[in-house]
């Protein structure tokens, strides 16, 4: 065995050379890996005894792509194209031996090999689109030549990982080997190729599939139309489509030029920078400086939930989905029955859509027990309280839990705004108390804010994060403050949105600007969807806000056919002349001189105070890092991924510009716009939000 460099070895087994890459964690195509491939293949070529080469990886996976950390840095070592040419133009067959995931540049390496073998558990994909990129090492030109443009379009724009068996059907993999015996299987395959004197199969030379699609532009126009909603705002899907179009319409080398040009545009653009930021932010968020990975955790085998309302039911489903038994406690039989029936209905609907079988519905429902007695929770390892949002009620519940539930269990609250330190005073074991703030619908929304109270113990935090992962959430650890991280920032935007409609904008103006910015919907459309009467009561209403007036008129949102908007029978929203008049009258009564408000002002007034609040949150240590705030807003509120979250967006705009605008607004409109001390500091020190 010869070491080619620190991460590559070359070994000859009879007439087959085995080139092995070993660059943990994922064998990404860093400079040493590229060098290893380049020089390894070269050496094998020079050895006359070698008739074929197997390219294989150590560790958990085949090459998982280009080294994302290298983007934006000066190029070093041989280019990926040098390494790919070395493989593709080798005079002896090169066979990729795939386990784990062959992703992005990894699959592109495999596509320059003359043959591909894989274990059944392996997966292949071109996930560059998720990083705001396109496969920039020939993937968009080679893939459609094997699988055809339709499947290629699907793969490059979804970034999905395709299982080895499917790859075999599509021709992307030539043979499956026995699980766990990849090396032997690949060597045997190589010997077979040599013995049969099979020709070198170069993907670049295949033409039947792309030629068959030539002169059929509808393949692309229909694909664009069908996915327009999904791709809204993103550059990368469209650029990927253009590359596949080039593969169909141009000779290989010309297609590569198109791919190169579009790749360069994307990789230097802000969208890809934002999406790469999110990739790393999603991995960072699990790392807790003072709760190391080896912190002991509490085994959780039984979950208790109190309250079978909107949240309790959804929360329960998360645990049932992963096979954990759940006991749900209510005060009245009727509420319990209703809650359980809703869970069943949700599961049955999923089964109807083909997501799983009816047996699976019964299996999950079989794990659920309902009770009217809190005593039923005595042996739970984790109890999550989801009763009414009222401090006295919550404290009573916790004090009762303290007397009933076994020691060592986690006592969690799903409160969205109450002070968890105060809730913890109701028990003699405050170290067991934590906030698990699920978002509605709790069985769907990916975000979980794990709220650490003053006395919460580290094992309780570590267990909560681990459980979040188990139930498929992305969890951010945050501190106790009004609204925690997500809703605290939301409050800034909501306040400005309400002010803007009195000062001169209309709800549909504000909504349009925020929708065009990339949010799934604006604040007023959102209120109409959720129901304007959440937290509103006729008795307490004083007509003090536009919302009060609308609710009093029974314009309570989509469910009543009218809210800030008018709705037709298909729930299509139309700007409402009635609401316009209400707003104008209201502003007049308040003595507000309405003025024309520009789209820029709407955007800046809604978004910059959010960034500023994020800075305050960081300054108070209520979030660990600014990228955690981005994770909260992307996963809990639909902040566009291609803008990287509010804090990354702050960096894109420039902290200095955000500060200058906040000061300008403060001078005009007062201290709602008072800059955070950290924002001033970031600007003074020439730093970025992402440095914190
Ligand atoms: N470059 C650099 N680092 C990478 C990386 C990459 N391509 N892929 C993963 N990593 C790092 C992660 O940041 C993480 O680092 P950390 O431990 O310091 O946090 C570590 O590898 C392990 O990653 P995961 O925690 O994600 O491990 P999993 O086992 O859960 O998942 C994986 C493994 C499926 C390979 C997943 O990491 C993944 O999806 N990686 C990205 C794949 C990708 O997007 N490839 C395309 C890159 S762009 C490209 O190839 C351009 C080309 O066309 C020119
Ligand atoms: P809900 O009103 O739909 O459900 C609350 C349920 O708790 C009711 O069914 C009620 O009968 C039951 N309950 C009240 N006191 C109880 C007690 N002592 N023992 C057992 N059951 C009791 O309320 P929802 O929306 O589910 O909210 C629950 C909690 O979740 C609140 O703290 C809320 O702030 C929080 N939350 C709500 C979100 C939402 O969007 N609805 C989002 C995130 C958190």
- ipTM, two decimals, is 0.94
Q: Residue 228 corresponds to which tokens in the numbers above?
A: 């327009």
Q: Is the pLDDT of residue 682 over 90?
A: yes
**Residue 541 C-alpha to ligand 2 middle, in angstroms?**
22
**Residue 379 C-alpha to ligand 2 middle, in angstroms?**
22
Average pLDDT estimate for 328-341: 97
Give 449's strand partners. Answer: 437, 476
Helix (H) or strand (E) holding 255: helix 252-267
Model pLDDT, residue 113:
98
Q: Alpha carbon of 490 to those of 42, 246, 638: distances in Å? A: 58, 43, 12
Residue 482 burial (C-beta neighbours within 10 Å; 0-12, 13-18, 19+): exposed
Q: Which residue out of 27, 31, 34, 64 has the highest number of ligand 1 atoms within 8 Å of its CB and is therefore the one to mutate?
A: 64
**Ligand lying closest to the C-alpha of residue 30:** 1
Model pLDDT, residue 71:
87
Helix (H) or strand (E) holding 37: helix 31-46
* Cβ within 8 Å of residue 336, ≥6 positions away: 308, 328, 330, 370, 371, 372
**Residue 64 C-alpha to ligand 1 middle, in angstroms?**
6
Q: Is the pLDDT of residue 642 over 90?
A: yes
Q: How far apart (Å, rounded) are the C-alpha atoms in residues 220 and 148?
A: 13
| Structural domains of the chain ordered from first start | 2-267 (3.90.226.10), 303-485 (3.40.50.720), 505-510+521-589 (1.10.1040.10)
Q: Whose CA is nearest to atom 4 of ligand 2?
A: 309
State pLDDT tens for residues 573-604: 999 999 999 999 999 999 999 999 999 999 99
Mean predicted lDDT score pLDDT of the chain: 96
The closest-lying atom of ligand 2 relative to the alpha carbon of residue 332 is: 11
Q: Which residue out of 29, 65, 273 has the highest number of ligand 1 atoms within 8 Å of its CB and is therefore the one to mutate?
A: 65
Compute and round to an integer the Cα radius of gyration of the chain.
29
Q: How far apart (Å, rounded) are the C-alpha atoms in residues 434 and 438?
A: 13
Per-residue pLDDT band for 536 (boundaries 50, 70, 90) equals confident
The closest-lying atom of ligand 2 relative to the alpha carbon of residue 413 is: 32
Residue 544 in contact with residue 517, Cβ under 8 Å?
Answer: no
Model pLDDT, residue 72:
80
Average pLDDT estimate for 496-512: 97
Give the whole-number percent of the chain exceeding pLDDT 90: 96
Pairing of strands 94-98, 52-57: parallel
Model pLDDT, residue 562:
96
Q: Has 108 been annotated as catalytic?
A: yes
DSSP 676: P
- C-alpha closest to that of 459 among 297, 303, 300: 297
Average pLDDT estimate for 123-150: 98
Give the whole-number percent of the chain exceeding pLDDT 70: 100
Task: Report helix, strand or coil for 468.
Answer: helix
Residue 585 burial (C-beta neighbours within 10 Å; 0-12, 13-18, 19+): exposed
Query: Between 218-231 and 236-249, two packed helices, what is the crossing angle to 10 degrees?
Result: 170
Query: What are 655-664's contacts with CB under 8 Å, separation 24+?
Result: 655/679, 655/682, 655/683, 655/687, 655/688, 655/689, 656/683, 658/608, 658/611, 658/612, 659/683, 661/604, 661/608, 662/608, 662/609, 662/612
**Residue 678 C-alpha to ligand 2 middle, in angstroms?**
36
* Cβ within 8 Å of residue 106, ≥6 positions away: 27, 29, 62, 63, 64, 65
State pLDDT tens for residues 29-65: 999 999 999 999 999 999 999 999 999 999 999 999 9
Model pLDDT, residue 535:
80
Q: Residue 563 corresponds to which tokens in the numbers above?
A: 């809210």
Q: Whose CA is nearest to atom 45 of ligand 1?
A: 65
Residue 183 in contact with residue 97, Cβ under 8 Å?
Answer: yes
Kindly state if the Cβ of 619 falls inside 6 Å of ligand 2. Answer: no
Residue 405 in contact with residue 427, Cβ under 8 Å?
Answer: no
Per-residue pLDDT band for 73 (boundaries 50, 70, 90) equals confident
Model pLDDT, residue 288:
98
Average pLDDT estimate for 652-676: 98
Q: Which of 108, 245, 259, 613 is catalytic?
A: 108
Average pLDDT estimate for 416-439: 97
Per-residue pLDDT band for 23 (boundaries 50, 70, 90) equals very high
Residue 4 in contact with residue 43, Cβ under 8 Å?
Answer: yes
Residue 581 burial (C-beta neighbours within 10 Å; 0-12, 13-18, 19+): exposed
State pLDDT tens for residues 200-247: 999 999 999 999 999 999 999 999 999 999 999 999 999 999 999 999
Helix (H) or strand (E) holding 575: strand 573-575
- C-alpha closest to that of 434 among 375, 382, 482: 382
Model pLDDT, residue 90:
96
Average pLDDT estimate for 316-323: 98
Model pLDDT, residue 331:
96
In b/e form, how buried is each residue of 283-309, taking b as 16+ CB within 10 angstroms? eebeebeebeeebebbebebbbbbbbe
Q: How far apart (Å, rounded) are the C-alpha atoms in residues 605 and 497?
A: 8
Kindly state if the Cβ of 304 falls inside 6 Å of ligand 1. Answer: no
Q: Is the pLDDT of residue 121 over 90?
A: yes
Q: Is the pLDDT of residue 540 over 90?
A: no
Q: Whose CA is nearest to atom 18 of ligand 2?
A: 397
Q: Is the pLDDT of residue 102 over 90?
A: yes
DSSP 21: E
Residue 200 in contact with residue 218, Cβ under 8 Å?
Answer: no
Q: How far apart (Å, rounded) are the C-alpha atoms in residues 259 and 243?
A: 6
* Cβ within 8 Å of residue 392, ≥6 positions away: none
Q: Which of 35, 88, 128, 604 is catalytic?
A: 128
Q: What are the E-state strand segments in 480-567?
A: 565-567
Kindly state if the Cβ of 175 falls inside 6 Å of ligand 2. Answer: no
**Residue 331 C-alpha to ligand 2 middle, in angstroms?**
12
Q: How far apart (Å, rounded) are the C-alpha atoms in residues 499 and 590?
A: 12
Longest dimension (CA), the chain: 93
**Residue 329 C-alpha to ligand 2 middle, in angstroms?**
12
Residue 136 in contact with residue 128, Cβ under 8 Å?
Answer: yes
Lowest mean pLDDT among 163-167, 368-372, 457-461, 539-543: 539-543
The alpha carbon dihedral of 5, 7, 12, 16 has a sign of negative
The closest-lying atom of ligand 1 relative to the alpha carbon of residue 287 is: 19
**Residue 28 C-alpha to ligand 1 middle, in angstroms?**
7
Q: Whose CA is nearest to atom 25 of ligand 1?
A: 283
Q: How far apart (Å, rounded) are the C-alpha atoms in residues 442 and 468?
A: 12
Residue 55 burial (C-beta neighbours within 10 Å; 0-12, 13-18, 19+): buried
Q: Is the pLDDT of residue 537 over 90?
A: no
The closest-lying atom of ligand 1 relative to the alpha carbon of residue 126 is: 46
Residue 229 CB neighbour total at 10 angstroms: 7
**Ligand lying closest to the C-alpha of residue 140:** 1
Q: Is the pLDDT of residue 441 over 90?
A: yes
Per-residue pLDDT band for 541 (boundaries 50, 70, 90) equals confident
Kindly state if the Cβ of 33 falls inside 6 Å of ligand 1. Answer: no
Model pLDDT, residue 75:
82
Q: Alpha carbon of 157 to those of 244, 451, 687: distances in Å? A: 10, 36, 35
Kindly state if the Cβ of 440 falls inside 6 Å of ligand 2. Answer: yes
Q: Has 373 been annotated as catalytic?
A: no
Say whether pTM exceeds 0.80.
yes
Residue with tokens 């705001």: 132
């Amino acid at each position: 065995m010869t070491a080619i460099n620190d991460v590559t070895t070359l070994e000859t087994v009879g007439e087959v050379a085995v080139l092995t890459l070993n660059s943990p964690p994922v064998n990404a195509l860093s400079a040493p890996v590229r060098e290893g491939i380049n020089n390894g293949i070269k050496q094998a070529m020079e050895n006359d005894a070698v008739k074929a080469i197997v390219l294989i990886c150590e560790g958990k996976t085949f090459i998982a792509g280009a080294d994302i950390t290298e983007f934006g840095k000066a190029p070093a070592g041989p280019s990926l194209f040098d390494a790919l040419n070395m493989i593709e133009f080798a005079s002896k067959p090169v066979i990729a031996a795939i386990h784990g995931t062959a992703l992005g540049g990894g699959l592109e390496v495999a596509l320059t090999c003359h043959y591909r073998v894989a274990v059944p558990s392996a997966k292949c994909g071109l996930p560059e689109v998720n990083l705001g990129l396109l496969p920039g090492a020939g993937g968009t030109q080679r893939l459609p030549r094997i699988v055809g443009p339709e499947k290629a379009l699907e793969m490059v724009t979804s970034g999905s990982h395709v299982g080895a068996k499917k790859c075999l059907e599509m021709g992307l993999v030539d043979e499956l080997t026995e699980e766990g015996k990849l090396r032997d299987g690949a060597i045997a395959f190589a010997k077979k190729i040599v013995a049969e004197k099979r020709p070198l199969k170069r993907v670049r030379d295949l033409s039947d599939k792309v030629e068959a699609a030539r002169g059929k532009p509808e393949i692309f126009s229909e694909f664009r139309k069908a996915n327009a909603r999904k791709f809204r705002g993103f550059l990368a899907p469209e650029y990927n489509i253009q590359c596949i179009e080039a593969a169909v319409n141009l000779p290989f080398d010309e297609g590569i030029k198109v791919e190169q040009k579009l790749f360069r545009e994307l990789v230097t653009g802000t969208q890809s920078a934002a999406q790469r930021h999110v990739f790393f932010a999603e991995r960072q968020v699990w790392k807790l400086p003072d709760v190391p990975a080896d912190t002991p955790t509490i085994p959780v085998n039984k979950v208790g939930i109190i309250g079978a309302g909107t949240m309790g039911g959804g929360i329960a489903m998360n645990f049932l989905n992963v096979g954990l038994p759940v006991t749900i406690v209510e005060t009245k039989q009727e509420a319990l029955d209703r809650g359980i029936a809703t869970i069943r209905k949700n599961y049955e609907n999923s089964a109807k859509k083909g997501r799983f079988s009816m047996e699976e519905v019964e299996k999950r429902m079989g794990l659920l027990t309902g009770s009217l007695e809190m005593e039923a929770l005595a042996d739970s390892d984790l109890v999550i309280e989801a009763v009414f949002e009222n401090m006295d009620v919550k404290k009573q519940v916790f004090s009762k839990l303290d007397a009933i539930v076994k020691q060592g269990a986690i006592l969690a609250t799903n409160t969205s705004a109450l002070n968890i330190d105060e809730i913890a005073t109701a028990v003699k074991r405050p170290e067991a108390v934590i906030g698990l703030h699920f978002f509605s619908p709790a069985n769907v929304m990916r975000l979980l804010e794990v709220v650490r109270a003053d006395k919460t113990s580290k094992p309780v935090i570590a267990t909560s994060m681990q459980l979040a992962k188990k139930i498929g959430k992305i969890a951010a650890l945050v501190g106790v403050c009004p609204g925690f991280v997500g809703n605290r920032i939301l409050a800034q935007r909501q306040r400005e949105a309400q002010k803007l409609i009195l000062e001169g904008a209309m709800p549909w103006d504000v909504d349009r600007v925020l929708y065009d910015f990339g949010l799934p919907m604006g604040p007023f459309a959102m209120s109409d969807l959720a129901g304007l009467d959440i937290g509103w009561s006729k008795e307490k209403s004083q007509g003090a806000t536009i919302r009060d007036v609308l609710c009093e008129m029974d314009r309570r949102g989509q469910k009543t056919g009218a809210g800030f908007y008018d709705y037709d029978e298909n729930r299509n929203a139309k700007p409402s002349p009635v609401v316009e008049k209400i707003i104008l009258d209201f502003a007049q009564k308040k003595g507000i001189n309405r003025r024309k408000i520009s789209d820029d002002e709407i955007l800046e007034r809604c978004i910059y105070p959010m960034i500023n609040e994020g800075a305050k949150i960081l300054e108070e240590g209520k979030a660990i890092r600014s990228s955690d705030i981005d994770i909260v807003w992307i996963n809990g509120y639909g902040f566009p991924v291609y803008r990287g979250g509010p804090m990354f967006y702050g960096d894109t705009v420039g902290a200095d510009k955000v500060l200058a605008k906040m000061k300008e607004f403060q001078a005009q409109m007062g201290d709602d716009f008072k800059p955070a001390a950290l924002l001033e500091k970031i600007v003074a020190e020439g730093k970025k939000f992402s440095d914190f």
